[in-house]
Structure 1
């Protein structure tokens, strides 16, 4: 079969825009962990977020914060969830936080990395990274 005989590839489907808001190195202290001393003494937690939204075009054109996701409000909410939750597992914190962010903000997809920088003396940090999406028809 020659190139002339091969069928043409279907046109690429264009998808809606995806823009990302990044929050890196959000640090605060909270009760997290399963060990007895972790249940009594707050320890540092570092969170990175990637918030995927449809587009910044409206916000950029209008210069209005209500046309985008307010990363300061998201950061406050993440800190609040972590401090109030007093989670045993970082995995539980990550799941709970992603669910709340998708429900409360116009976000299509969120990737969250939570690191405990002092969990192991031999490591710079230990943590988890998850990505969750808003159900179809919800989010951004």
Structure 2
């Protein structure tokens, strides 16, 4: 059975950006992740345990681990490394989408956002 599992509005701070001030202090980001996974479900009563799904807490844990690894110049780099990391660890993931937002980056209040999808469909 194919299912999607995700987390929305994961808030965290990381070292990201190209401006000199962004190298000096961490920047708040917000993130949504949606994963499509393939799992075998034949009898829902006996499969009603965490062992038979993807524990969504791992999404946040891995994202925060990746965000702490280094300084990222672009949100795209962070998104790519997250998708690469989670898909290598969990080969039953068939598709991954991450959307990163950088609130407070623009004086107008507009929020920059990037979305990355794996596989990219090429």
Deviation of the 1:55 alpha carbon: 4.2
Aligned structure 1 segments of 4 or more residues deviating by more than 6 angstroms: none
Alignment partners' CA distance in 1, 2:39 and 2:16: 35
Query: Please, what TM-score do these two structures have when normalized by structure 2?
Result: 0.86
Match of 2:102 in 1: 116
Alignment partners' CA distance in 1, 2:18 and 2:43: 43
- CA RMSD in angstroms comes to 2.0
Of 71-80 and 122-131, more deviation after overlay is shown by 122-131
Where structure 2 has 5 or more consecutive residues not aligned to the other structure, the ranges are none
Query: Please, what TM-score do these two structures have when normalized by structure 1?
Result: 0.76
Deviation of the 1:18 alpha carbon: 2.6
Q: Is the alpha carbon distance of 1:27 and 1:108 closer, same or farther for their aligned partners in structure 2, counting shifts above 3 Å?
A: same
Deviation of the 1:66 alpha carbon: 2.1
Alignment partners' CA distance in 1, 2:35 and 2:58: 13
Which is strand-richer, 1 or 2? 2
> Higher Cα Rg: structure 1 or 2?
1
Where structure 1 has 5 or more consecutive residues not aligned to the other structure, the ranges are 1-16, 135-140
Which is helix-richer, 1 or 2? 1
